[in-house]
Amino acid sequence: MKTSVRKGLLIAGLLSATVFGSFSSGALTVAAASQQGVVKADVLNVRSAASINSSIVMQVKHNQAVHILDQKSGWTKIQSGKKTGWVKSSYLNVKQVTAAALKTAKVNASSLNVRSTPSTSGKVVMTLKRNASVTLMKTQNGWSQVSASGKTGWVNAKYLTASGTPAAPAPVKTEEKRVTAETLNIRATAASNGKVLASLKKNEIVTVLKTQGTWSNIKTSKGITGWAASQYLGSVTAPPAVETPAGFAYLNTDSNIRSGPGTSSPVILTLKTGTKLQTFEKQKDWTKVKIPDGRTGWVSNKLISAGQIETPVPESPTGVLTGKVIVVDAGHGGYDPGTRGSFTLEKSLTLTSSQLLVKKLQNEGANVKFTRNSDTYPLLSERAALSNKSKADAFISIHYDSGGLKATGISTFYYTFAKDSLLASKVHQNVLAAVKLPDRKASYKNLQVLRENKYPSILVELGFLSNPAEERLITTFDYQEKATNGIVQGLKSYFTK
């Protein structure tokens, strides 16, 4: 079977966690390196194409080793057994395997046939001479799979003498970072005068491939690779802060709203006298405000009159949630980031939403338990087990969706119709009423965290991070308030059934 050295490397990596080499009648060489991946998720769907809408061709499990064939746009093509397919790259730990990690052997016969299959009936693809060096791939029923000089095949194992096992190399380490500057240039070289290849915005996520002095070699979500100043890259584990308004203010006159705190900053737009604005931080004589279209800007303190902080008048408590055991599950976490937007990791936003929801439920008198309260990853089975152990009256798993740049709306999922569908319907309808996003329905879905749950349980997708406009909306404080209020009202409605 003729093949290139690289193709041989790719195929063998899956079969035996080693790399194909090549045949030769003399001293033989092998290709430099290939990549392997280890599955991080409990169960990972492998799809026919690099899209969540494509069909599932197989599933791989936690800690299963696979071989990496290709990568593009946040997806990785893998091989497991004889099957290939695509998975989200965020669910794999990738490591480099080099030829130096492989076992080698020498031929101890005067002449040795290399066959296409591990059988004397296999086609002879090459003949090796005594003392020819080969790379050992695997052994099967007295036969060894070997490689050299661009070819692979099988030989009778008794005609090989092992020549040692070099130490395996350390895996190549990569790290995700968040852009901390308002704008960060990616350059062709590790120098401030290097050609600018692209620019990134604050909070965008990048992968650091290596560092050199004060520079980092990075790869963006769009696949662009280049150099950026390391000082402008920060930790990605902390969720982006959801700003809490300090109060509100009114414009005293028609006023310019600027992109920064100063008259030298560009004007975003001009607003009319009397416009009401949410206020945030202050810098000297300027106040950061939220304008009606959801963007933020800065206005001179001379142009506004501050109002008092608005505190909504709480509804009279009905007591319907008092004493109810409610488990709140912040989806993903730890090594599992979930999906991602242009500046948001799902695991961070689910934690923000869940912590806000927990406080509101506690204020209603509920006995709230949470599967995680920090950046950790409880297994899906452990999340369901907490609900079962607690004999939960309701289990709510919080997630955010991915499905294309224009995908939008709210989805809610349940597993058992009789046990879960009423809870799903009540929460779904109240969240829709609160956030005013399109209805993607409450429906059945076979999800482990619901399937293994003995008590009423649902999973709510609170909007699409893959849609840039929706990402900007759902990460706002206002949206988080509305969405979690909708869940609380949905639970109240469910328990008064």
- DSSP string across 373-385: SSS----HHHHHH
Output the domain CATH number for residue 205. Answer: 2.30.30.40
Q: Do 412 and 482 fall within a single domain? A: yes
Instruction: From 202, 235, 268, give the residue that closes a domain.
Output: 235
Q: In a structure prediction context, what are the per-residue pLDDT tens digits for the chain, which is 497 residues long?
A: 433 434 343 333 333 333 233 333 333 323 333 467 788 877 788 888 888 888 888 888 877 777 777 777 778 888 777 788 888 888 887 765 444 445 778 888 888 888 888 888 888 888 888 888 887 777 777 788 887 665 778 888 888 887 654 444 444 567 788 887 777 889 998 888 889 898 888 778 888 888 888 889 998 877 889 998 888 888 765 444 455 556 778 888 888 888 888 888 888 888 888 788 888 888 888 888 887 666 788 899 888 876 544 444 444 445 899 999 999 999 999 888 999 888 889 999 999 999 999 999 988 889 999 999 888 899 999 999 999 999 999 999 999 999 989 999 999 999 999 999 999 999 999 999 999 999 999 999 999 999 999 999 999 999 999 999 999 999 988 899 999 999 999 999 999 86
CA 332, CA 344: separation in Å to the nearest integer? 13
Q: Do 343 and 441 fall within a single domain? A: yes
Q: Are 16 and 138 in contact (CB under 8 A)?
A: yes
pLDDT given at position 163:
66
At 8 the three-state DSSP class reads: helix
| Sheet with 160-162, edge to edge strand ranges | 124-129, 111-115, 151-156, 143-148, 133-140, 103-107, 160-162
pLDDT given at position 51:
84
Q: Which residues contact 90 (CB under 8 A, 6 or more apart)?
A: 74, 336, 337, 338, 339, 340
pLDDT given at position 17:
32
Residue 315 inside a domain? The answer is: no
pLDDT given at position 173:
62
What phi, psi does 153 have (nearest 5°)? 180, -165
Q: Are 439 and 410 in contact (CB under 8 A)?
A: yes
CA 418, CA 413: separation in Å to the nearest integer? 13
Q: Do 98 and 220 fall within a single domain? A: no
Instruction: From 152, 169, 186, give the residue that closes a domain.
Output: 169
Q: Do 118 and 164 fall within a single domain? A: yes
Residue 374 inside a domain? The answer is: yes
In order of 352, 354, 356, 369, the CA distances from 485 in angstroms are 14, 12, 9, 18
Give the long-range contacts of residues 300-304, CB within 8 A, separation 24 or more.
Answer: 300/255, 303/251, 303/252, 303/253, 303/255, 304/249, 304/250, 304/251, 304/252, 304/255, 304/277, 304/279
Residue 96 inside a domain? The answer is: yes
Closest Cα to residue 369, out of 420, 400, 329? Answer: 329
Cα 40–46–50 angle (5° rounding)?
105
Q: Do 224 and 280 fall within a single domain? A: no
Q: Do 15 and 71 fall within a single domain? A: yes
Q: Which residues of 190-217 are buried (b: 16+ CB within 10 A; e: fewer)?
A: beeeeeeeeebeebbbbbbeeeeeebbb
Instruction: From 154, 169, 184, give the residue that closes a domain.
Output: 169
List residues bridging with 279 in a β-sheet. 247, 289
Residue 329 inside a domain? The answer is: yes
Counting the structural domains of the chain, the total is 4
In order of 115, 120, 185, 189, 232, the CA distances from 196 in angstroms are 52, 59, 6, 9, 16
Range of the domain at 215: 175-235
CA 421, CA 409: separation in Å to the nearest integer? 19
Q: How many helices (H) and strands (E) does the chain have?
A: 7, 34
pLDDT given at position 306:
64
Q: Do 261 and 116 fall within a single domain? A: no
pLDDT given at position 73:
76
Q: Do 286 and 347 fall within a single domain? A: no
pLDDT given at position 460:
98
Q: Which residues contact 259 (CB under 8 A, 6 or more apart)?
A: 265, 266, 267, 268, 297, 298
Residue 426 inside a domain? The answer is: yes
Q: Do 146 and 206 fall within a single domain? A: no
Output the domain CATH number for residue 430. Answer: 3.40.630.40
Q: Do 381 and 488 fall within a single domain? A: yes
Q: Which residues contact 169 (CB under 8 A, 6 or more apart)?
A: 96, 97, 98, 100, 101
CA 126, CA 112: separation in Å to the nearest integer? 8
Q: Which residues contact 53 (CB under 8 A, 6 or more apart)?
A: 403
Q: Do 72 and 113 fall within a single domain? A: yes
Give the pair of three-digit tokens for residue 497. Answer: 């059934």
Q: Do 334 and 212 fall within a single domain? A: no
CA 210 from centre of chain = 20
In order of 32, 88, 225, the CA distances from 219 in angstroms are 22, 16, 4
pLDDT given at position 470:
94
Residue 115 inside a domain? The answer is: yes
Q: Are 146 and 19 in contact (CB under 8 A)?
A: no
Residue 313 inside a domain? The answer is: no
Residue 319 inside a domain? The answer is: no
CA 375, CA 240: separation in Å to the nearest integer? 13
